[in-house]
Structure 1
Amino acid sequence: MHDIIIYDTTLRDGNQAEDVNLSLEDKIKITLKLDELGIAYIEGGWPGASPVDTAFFKEIATCGLKTARIAAFGSTHHPTNSAANDKTLAALIASNASTLTIVGKSAEVHVREALRVTPDRYLDVVGDSVSCLKRAGREVIFDAEHFFDGFADNPDFSLAVLKKALEAGADVLVLCDTNGGTLPQDVAKAVRRIREYLPGTTLGIHSHNDCELAVATSLAAVEAGAVMVQGSVNGIGERCGNANLCSLIPILELKSGGAYRCLPEGRLTLLCGVSNYVAEVANMAPFSRQPFVGRSAFAHKGGIHVSAVNRNATLYEHIPPSTVGNEQRVLLTELAGRGNIVSMARRFGFHLDKDEPVVKGLLSELKDKASHGYDYAAAEASVELLLLRKLGRRGVRDFFHLIRFRVLESKQHNDARPLSEATVTLAVEGATEHTAAFGDGPVNALDSALRKALSGFYPRLQEMRLIDFKVRVLAATDQYKGTGSLVRVLIESADQRSKWVTVGVSCNIIEASWQALIDSVTYKLYKDENENCTKKLDG
């Protein structure tokens, strides 16, 4: 088995993504999570480039990491300076990071046109920069920027840059597909050539995803002899992103016949959680169709698929979802079969036969609702409530009944903010509750009034918070079109333990929101009551 060194650049290259801006606290949180996963190297940023990056290295030194080495990133010294008086190199050394990574040009066209120096002068820059950092007693990784483009154009110069860095003491030479345009076979060919030219050298790969090939080119480099792989969690990074470690790591560990190991034993099951955690800290919506760790990676919708999966999951799943910390999901939609119902019921602890009348009836009801726009594939909490009510099982009850609600919207003049007010009358546990509340919009006003009516009876509702609110106009019909079209509202809610999604559909956006809202509240109350019953039984 070969150990592959995973070098994470989420905090530096990932932070250069258009829609990512990590604070110091964000970087510390992600670093601790990556250390828990067992990542070998974590690139913290460019000291001196921003106050956040400079502060990171001071802060992380006090955190007591268990697995990861922290790398500081910078560049070769400016050609008009010497290594001894270069601010970038000085900031790298001052970071006190045990590993220093510097990027250097390895394509002659970049040296001549971007830096406007001769190739010979730049070779001296590379050698002097690496030597300066090695004299400071640090491990040095040399990132050969634009290597593959340069190698295709002038291989002699690109190889000379690598040799110069190696002779100056670089511990690892990383080949960068900076523009993300190199094909896997060309990467493999170049890596094999370098292994012949510089035998015994520790080589790495740093791929960008501009051709959707960053994972493929990284794998090609490893097969050709590279032992370090650089990438980011969820593939975030400049332009189209970097090689996605959430795909690379499981491919190497699970698809190589045991040839490669990337993480300490038992850590791979943490991968899905780390992916979601980084997305949340970076304030990004997780990509549901992301391989291995995406919410849809092991989701089954078609009835034929589900029927097969119920017999043998490997018929439609290339790995057990649990190996990467994910889970199988069976979706209930207009494409569902009875096997979907049976599988969903089993997930909630009910063992049904697909020929039972309740299964046929529930499937018919689901298909009818789906035809009217209810998206139960995305709203599993609403599905669970529907299933439990249909089965008449203990735990789901009517915690409250709506008597009436009213929403008032007013606006006095063009520059004034609209005023939203909602009144709600409910029957709750034998009492009638009538409340009113203002809000930032009609849905917020309804939510506030509903909570006010229920909080005296169910105080744990205070734990519940809104995570996401989505509205989609459905396809027009003869009955519903234009501004009278049906709309679907999805509400994602959360408490301290979990998240859940509910759905509502109506030509009235307030009514659709109310449907999703009361399902969300009911689901929270159902979970809490179930939890209390379990504790009493255990006691």
Structure 2
Amino acid sequence: MKKIEIFDSTLRDGAQNESVSYSVEDKLNIVRYLDKLGIDYIEAGNPFSNPKDHAFFSRVKELDLKYAKLVAFGSTRRRDSRVQDDKNCLALMEADIDCISIFGKASCWQVKEVLGTTPQENLRMIFDTVSFFTKAGKRVFFDAEHFFDGYKDNKEYALSALRAAQEAGAYKLILCDTNGGAFPDDIGEITKEIVQIFPGKVGIHCHNDMGCAVAGSVMAVKAGADHVQGTYIGTGERCGNTNLSTIIGDLQLKLGYTCIPQEKIVRLTKTARFVSEVSNVRLAHAMPYVGKSAFAHKGGMHVDGVQKNNAAFEHVAPEIVGNQRHILLSEVSGRAAMLTKISEVDSTITKDSPEANQLIQRLKELEYEGYQFEAATASFELVVLKELGKFSPFFDVELFRIIGEQDTAGKHNMASAMVKLRVGQRWEMTADEGDGPVHALDKALRKGLEIFYPSLSNVKLIDYKVRVMDTGKATAALVRVLIESTDGENVWTTVGVSTDIINASSRALIDSMEYKLYKDQTMKK
């Protein structure tokens, strides 16, 4: 199988995503996870662009990387100057990194209007900078910025930019769809022409402004490119970059290329969740291969079909990529789906078991009260375990009290929560403050429980939804609260229902913590 190099830019391009900011420790942890996955190259920024990156490049050398090579990023020398005098180029050289990524303009229009120099000087900038590093023994990736736009506007000049980098000794020539405006078929056709001129030298770097980054990258590979750049979960400036967790699956599982070691494919989902958590970016449920809904089935016919043969409605088995199948419970999924979900919790329960009817009746009662288990599978699992007498509570919340505070100007919205709970024969009473009552309750619960269960310190709430069930009753209406939680590797959702939004929230919070503790316990057995 043909090898396709995977070049991850999560720590550089991905860091340009709105609201993303990495600490040094964040970067180091992401490098560790990407290396465990078998990524070939990890681009991590400019070592001397800021104190944080300088500290990162100093410390990353301490890591014992098995698969990945670290890449430092920079631009061509400044116009009308010598590369030996360019501070950025000198800083890259001093960083003592074996692989360097250099970007330069491949669009004649961009050279004149944006860079403000002559086409000839730009070509000299490319040649001088790339040769400066290759002569020092560095492996250089040349990112031909705005390549596809430049190629359509002035084909000969775009090719001249690539030739300048090649003659200077560049390892790979990366064709960049910098504006994300090229259609996949155009990328495929143009890449095919470039591969014929520069065989074995061509890579692809797409942005997702039209939603075509993965498709464009696939077309480039089919046209002969053997190097793909992107970010692991598609983060990046504007609409993001090629999603590597998607394209690795597409190329390796569907098209027969080798991107990462075959035994590492099972880590696709785990790595996506980790990068999402560290990046503080919610992993889209519908993300191919690694999303929570990637293998979720709701319709009765789909559920029946996938139970008979997963290939009926799944293009790959979820276990291959480290994900799992979800059978969603709703009014369209029916009794068969409910029994399937019950058997996932306890495989001894069949459609003929006396407990089956009892469980289905109980679940229907809860749904009538307003509970919804379609998304809240963790709460569903707890209901089944409790009804079967197979769940021993880890703690009991005896009472909680919420005090809200707000000044007359409405600027101060602090709340306090006091919680009294029991674990075994021990009692604990704690209090804490938060930005609103639910936040305060969450903090107070954790403070008390972490004394007994330290693993709860890893649990983080990543989503909180409130749904008013019967709007006709106005402020006395029944509300449903859904809480999504993660411990950095696993994600689960719980539900609570009440006419009191705080009570509904507390039920979902308690379920979330009980579910985490139950899963920890079962993992130890």
TM-score by length of 1: 0.88
1:188-199 alignment to 2 at 5 Å? 188-196=188-196, 198-199=197-198
Q: Contact 1:332–1:341 (CA<8 Å) still a contact in 2?
A: yes
- Measured after TM superposition, the shift of residue 495 of structure 1 is 6.6
Q: Contact 1:93–1:133 (CA<8 Å) still a contact in 2?
A: yes
Within 2, Cα distance between the matches of 1:372 and 1:73? 57
Match of 1:251 in 2: 250
Q: Contact 1:130–1:170 (CA<8 Å) still a contact in 2?
A: yes
Change (3 A) 1:423 1:476: closer
Within 2, Cα distance between the matches of 1:184 and 1:448? 49
Within 1, Cα distance between the matches of 2:394 and 2:139? 64
- Measured after TM superposition, the shift of residue 348 of structure 1 is 1.8
Change (3 A) 1:341 1:187: same
Of the three residues 497, 501, 513, the one matched with 2:505 is 513
Within 2, Cα distance between the matches of 1:468 and 1:445? 13
Match of 2:77 in 1: 77
2:323 equivalent to 1:331 = no
Within 1, Cα distance between the matches of 2:133 and 2:6? 22
Match of 1:211 in 2: 210
Provide structure 1 residue ranges, at least 5 long, that are not aligned to the other structure: 535-539
- Measured after TM superposition, the shift of residue 195 of structure 1 is 2.6
- Measured after TM superposition, the shift of residue 417 of structure 1 is 6.1
Change (3 A) 1:487 1:108: same
1:431-450 alignment to 2 at 5 Å? 437=431, 439-440=433-434, 441-443=436-438
- Measured after TM superposition, the shift of residue 232 of structure 1 is 0.7
Match of 2:154 in 1: 154
Match of 2:165 in 1: 165
Match of 2:344 in 1: 347
Within 2, Cα distance between the matches of 1:405 and 1:471? 20
Within 2, Cα distance between the matches of 1:501 and 1:448? 18
Q: 1:204-252 deviations in whole A, cap 9, x for unaligned?
A: 0000000100000001001111010001110111111110000111111
Match of 2:482 in 1: 490
Change (3 A) 1:365 1:42: same
Identity of aligned residues (%): 42
Within 2, Cα distance between the matches of 1:525 and 1:242? 37
Of the three residues 298, 301, 314, the one matched with 1:301 is 298
Q: Contact 2:80–2:121 (CA<8 Å) still a contact in 1?
A: no
Greater Cα shift, 357-366 or 17-26: 357-366
Question: C-alpha root-mean-square deviation of aligned residues, in Å?
Answer: 3.0
Match of 2:494 in 1: 502
> Secondary structure of the equivalent of 1:218?
helix
Q: Which amino acid in structure 1 is aligned with residue 216 of structure 2?
A: T
Change (3 A) 1:224 1:496: closer
Of the three residues 297, 310, 315, the one matched with 2:312 is 315
Within 1, Cα distance between the matches of 2:488 and 2:217? 38
1:88-487 alignment to 2 at 5 Å? 88-196=88-196, 198-256=197-255, 258=256, 260-354=257-351, 356=353, 358-360=355-357, 362-367=359-364, 369-370=366-367, 373-390=370-387, 392-396=388-392, 400=396, 406-409=401-404, 418=414, 420-422=416-418, 437=431, 439-440=433-434, 441-443=436-438, 460-465=452-457, 467-468=460-461, 470-475=463-468, 477=470, 479-481=472-474, 483-487=475-479
Q: Which amino acid in structure 2 is aligned with residue 235 of structure 1?
A: G
**Highest Rg: 1 or 2?**
1
Within 1, Cα distance between the matches of 2:237 and 2:201? 26
Change (3 A) 1:98 1:371: farther
Match of 1:42 in 2: 42
Within 2, Cα distance between the matches of 1:280 and 1:250? 21
Q: Which amino acid in structure 2 is aligned with residue 195 of structure 1?
A: V
Q: Contact 1:474–1:485 (CA<8 Å) still a contact in 2?
A: no
Change (3 A) 1:377 1:396: farther
- Measured after TM superposition, the shift of residue 19 of structure 1 is 1.8
- Measured after TM superposition, the shift of residue 418 of structure 1 is 4.9
- Measured after TM superposition, the shift of residue 18 of structure 1 is 1.2
Q: Contact 2:345–2:384 (CA<8 Å) still a contact in 1?
A: no
Q: 1:43-90 deviations in whole A, cap 9, x for unaligned?
A: 111232222223322222221211111111111111121122111211
2:10 equivalent to 1:14 = no
Q: 1:97-147 deviations in whole A, cap 9, x for unaligned?
A: 111110010001001101222212221221111111112111111110000
Q: 1:403-427 deviations in whole A, cap 9, x for unaligned?
A: x655444667657665635465x78
Q: Which amino acid in structure 2 is aligned with residue 345 of structure 1?
A: I
Q: Which amino acid in structure 1 is aligned with residue 144 of structure 2?
A: A
> Secondary structure of the equivalent of 1:175?
strand
Change (3 A) 1:248 1:199: same
Q: Contact 1:205–1:226 (CA<8 Å) still a contact in 2?
A: yes
Q: Which amino acid in structure 2 is aligned with residue 484 of structure 1?
A: A
Q: 1:385-404 deviations in whole A, cap 9, x for unaligned?
A: 211233x23334696485x6
Q: Which amino acid in structure 1 is aligned with residue 230 of structure 2?
A: G
Q: Contact 1:504–1:514 (CA<8 Å) still a contact in 2?
A: yes
TM-score by length of 2: 0.90
Q: Contact 2:400–2:417 (CA<8 Å) still a contact in 1?
A: no
Change (3 A) 1:87 1:491: same
> Secondary structure of the equivalent of 2:473?
coil
- Measured after TM superposition, the shift of residue 519 of structure 1 is 2.8
Match of 1:537 in 2: none
Match of 2:61 in 1: 61
- Measured after TM superposition, the shift of residue 191 of structure 1 is 1.2
- Measured after TM superposition, the shift of residue 336 of structure 1 is 2.8
Q: Contact 1:234–1:245 (CA<8 Å) still a contact in 2?
A: yes
Count of matched residue pairs: 522
Q: Which amino acid in structure 1 is aligned with residue 292 of structure 2?
A: R
> Secondary structure of the equivalent of 1:261?
coil
- Measured after TM superposition, the shift of residue 179 of structure 1 is 0.4
- Measured after TM superposition, the shift of residue 263 of structure 1 is 0.8
Q: Contact 1:334–1:370 (CA<8 Å) still a contact in 2?
A: no
Q: Which amino acid in structure 2 is aligned with residue 509 of structure 1?
A: I
Within 2, Cα distance between the matches of 1:61 and 1:528? 34
Within 1, Cα distance between the matches of 2:307 and 2:124? 64
Q: Contact 1:463–1:496 (CA<8 Å) still a contact in 2?
A: no
Q: Which amino acid in structure 2 is aligned with residue 394 of structure 1?
A: K
Within 2, Cα distance between the matches of 1:423 and 1:71? 50
Within 1, Cα distance between the matches of 2:142 and 2:422? 69
